Structure 1
Amino acid sequence: MSLNERVQEELEALEAILMDDISITYDEQSCLTLIKSTIFPSTANEVNKQYVCVTIEVKLPEDYPDSEPNVQLRNPRGLDDSTVNDLYKSIKEKCTEYLGQPVIFELIELIRESLTESNLPTCQCAVCLYGFSEGDSFTKTQCFHYFHSYCLYNHLETTKRHYQEEQEKLPAWQKSTKGFQAICPVCRESINCDVEELKTALPPKDLENAQNFEVTKDLRVLQDRMKQLFSYQKSKGGIIDVEAEENKLLLITETSDNGSTDTNEDPGPSDGALESDAQRGQRFDYRVSSGLNNR
């Protein structure tokens, strides 16, 4: 049997077993066969319990299987770097063991078994930045990103409140008729969640067991400086809306074409000059009074 016939037989077997779960293409110019398959853990018919996944991309060189295939893992979901690195090591060992024999199906099954054994996200919750512990209630979005249910609920409630506040500021003709749409905090794709179910979730264990925040000596010194600066700003007529400040998520500044910050009529100190707290307070007063601080 020629080499091409051996490869063709393996590819036909893969298509017969995996059907729509595998994609096989052949590049005549490079003489490379490209195989792609997204692999999930084995959970019988309970698809909603597949919490991790990864796409395997295999390039078969012209002399495969007498040489090892080039294997890449793409778009890991719920897997941290150490888990992916462990998979690469296992793949390398399997390719060495099966040198001269068909190995693609073996690689797919190897990855599937690994995902099944550790079918729990090893990444961090993008909201609280803690990991997922046994017993934590977590949610997998349609885009395969993971959050503690408790954290996701609080995020959605906050973004919904901000959305409603912004809508109330608009004239009737500018208000959206579609209503609030929840989006993934990571990729901004639209997501659909049962908010009432999320609401009942308990805080994650790591968050509950986190060490209480303590004010250090250095932080107290900084607080005193900020208190003095606040008093100075207030005495000069500077107005700070504390409630509005607490609801801000990001501060966006505009930059000019040359990369410097655009301050319009608000020039900073001259080159080489050091700016004192009082000068910074005066610059803040100017921005408040001119409306520049409300961009």
Structure 2
Amino acid sequence: MLCRWNKLTVSMMKFLVTYRVTDEVEALKAILLDDELNIKANERGEPECIETLVFPSTGEDSQSQYVCVRLVVQLPPGYPDVSPSVNLRNPRGLDEDTVKLIQSDAEAKCKDFVGQPVMFELIELVREHLTHSNLPTGQCAVCLYGFREGDEFTKTECYHHFHSHCLAAHVAAAERYYREEQEKLPQWQQDSTNKFQAICPVCRESINCDVESLWSAPPPIDVETATDFSVTAELRELQRQMAALFLRQQQRGGIIDPEAEGVKMLLRTEDDPAAATEEVSPPGTSLNAFANQAAHTFTQMQHPQAKQTAQQQSEQSNLNQYQPRQSHHNHHGHNNHGHRNRGRGRANYRRHFDRMRQTESTPR
């Protein structure tokens, strides 16, 4: 009886937990738009992950929303009696310190609301942080300067921020390059229907912008007030240290010279006088030996004369290997019929070499 009561109690608790989660999800659907809320359920149909894109509170003016972040909440089994895990993904216009602060506050909020629905509280917490940080932080990806008070900046559809003047210069340069590449193609390959499309310099997504209005914005303040570059004493000292390090590595064979490696791959025949005077490169890497071997093989394939010379050298080397064995036979009076000095030509050596090979292959 007690066992049945425990099972019934566990079943009722699971039902209550599921009911609370379902009720919370229905409330979120009623508050948020369908495109702002993404709910993932498990195989039993229970919500296990809730995602939503959070923007700052700017009323009806969506053009003034310069930052955003995607809030991802994993609902573990037993939620809300168990604290969920919170992740912030794809923050736009926010620096790392702000993202870490939002993450820390969200985790603390989850611990305080154990046993209660916390999704709505998390969304409001993140939205409050974004409202206080509704200004782009970081640097413009075009000029690499930050945003100062008085700069005019532009937010793209993908929530990346640029100085208006910098974005206009980027789009104009990209369009000019596109036109030049089109003019290089033959007339039959030029596609007049494929118009130029501006893309974001950061994420490469397509963007829509009015270049004329962007050009009317003044340049960034940091660009206007930047001083001309000059080589300081510190830079000169660094150049001297780098030059000494480069020379040391070059002497120890740690740097590959592209010009020297290219010379090693040149094809030279034995009649080329420059081949005899070619300097031997110092040992540096294993690439040197590989290049020499490849050049030698390619030379034999392309030049029959060089291949024939190499074959003669190989035959002569084989004869030298058989000389001790031949002298041994001569000492005992075998295979020596007084013809050792007969014929010194290449054909004689070839026949003699064949006889030696047949003698060696004959079983004794």
Cα distance between partner residues in 1 of 2:236 and 2:136: 36
**Structure 1 residues 9, 208: CA separation in 2 closer, same or farther (over 3 Å shift)?**
same
- Please say if residues 66 and 155 of structure 2, whose CA atoms lie closer than 8 Å, have aligned partners that are also in contact: yes
Equivalent AA in structure 1 for residue 55 of structure 2: F
Q: Deviations over 1:7-37 (max 9, x none)?
A: 2221111111114121222113796611010
Other-structure match for 1:3: 17
Change (3 A) 1:61 1:135: same
1:42 aligns with 57
Gaps of 5+ in 2: 1-12, 240-255, 265-280, 286-364
Matches within 5 A, 1:212-291: 212-216=228-232, 267=262, 272=284
User: Following the alignment from structure 1 to structure 2, what is the Cα–Cα distance between the partners of residues 145 and 80?
Assistant: 13
Higher RCO by CA contacts (8 Å cutoff, separation 6 or greater): 1
Question: Cα–Cα, structure 1 residues 221 and 66, in superposed 2: closer, same or farther, change >3 Å?
Answer: closer
SS at match of 1:267: helix
CA contact (8 A) 1:22 1:36 kept: yes
Task: Look up the equivalent residue of 1:188 and give its one-letter code.
Answer: R
Q: Distance in 2 between matches of 1:171 and 1:98?
A: 68
- Match for residue 146 of structure 1 among 158, 161, 172: 161
Task: Tell me the residue number matched to 1:112.
Answer: 127
* Secondary structure of the corresponding residue to residue 71 of structure 2: strand
Q: Which runs of no fewer than 5 residues in structure 1 stay unpaired?
A: 223-260, 274-295
TM-score (norm 2): 0.59
Aligned twin of 1:235: none
- Is contact 1:51-1:120 (8 Å) kept? yes
Q: How many residue pairs align between the two structures?
A: 234
Instruction: Answer yes or no: is 1:204 the counterpart of 2:220.
Output: yes
1:86 aligns with 2:101: yes
Q: 1:68 to 1:30 in 2, by over 3 A?
A: farther
Greater Cα offset, 27-36 or 94-103: 27-36
CA distance in 1, matches of 2:138, 2:20: 40
Query: What's the CA shift for 1:206?
Result: 2.8
Letter paired with 1:267: G
What residue number does 1:12 align with?
26
On the 8 A contact 1:34/1:60 being kept in 2, the answer is yes
> Residues 193 and 108 of structure 1: is their aligned pair in 2 closer, same or farther, counting only changes over 3 Å?
same
Conserved? CA contact 2:49–2:74, under 8 Å: yes
What is the Cα deviation at residue 268 of structure 1? 6.8
2:146 is aligned with 1:131: yes
State the alpha-carbon separation in 2 of the partners of residues 31 and 202 from structure 1.
Answer: 54
Distance 1:221 1:75, change over 3 A: closer
Q: SS state of the match for residue 101, structure 2?
A: helix
**Does structure 1 retain, via aligned residues, the 8 Å contact 2:85–2:107?**
no
Q: RMSD value over aligned CA atoms? A: 2.8
Find the counterpart in structure 2 of residue 185 from structure 1: 201
Displacement after TM superposition at 1:109 (Å):
0.6
Q: Report the TM-score when normalising by structure 1.
A: 0.71
How far apart, in 2, do the equivalents of 1:73 and 1:221 lie?
A: 42
- Closer, same or farther in 2 for the Cα pair 1:176/1:82, shift >3 Å? farther
Of 162, 168, 186, the residue aligned with 2:183 is 168
Aligned counterparts of 2:140 and 2:32: Cα–Cα separation in 1: 32
Q: CA deviation at 1:180?
A: 2.1
Q: Alpha-carbon deviation of 1:129?
A: 1.5
1:68 corresponds to 2:83: yes
Letter of the 1:196 partner, please give it. E
Task: State the distance in 1 between where 2:138 and 2:74 align.
Answer: 28
Secondary structure (helix, strand or coil) at the match of 1:136 reads coil
* Offset, 1:89: 1.0
Give 1:66 deviation, angstroms. 1.6
Secondary structure, counterpart of 1:8 in structure 2: helix
Check conservation: 1:122, 1:131, Cα contact below 8 A. Answer: yes
Q: Is the 8 A contact 1:125 1:131 kept in 2?
A: yes
Contact 1:31–1:62 under 8 Å retained in 2: no
1:54 maps to what in 2?
69
Greater helix fraction, Structure 1 or Structure 2: 2
Find the aligned partners of 1:204 and 1:93 in 2 and give their Cα distance: 40
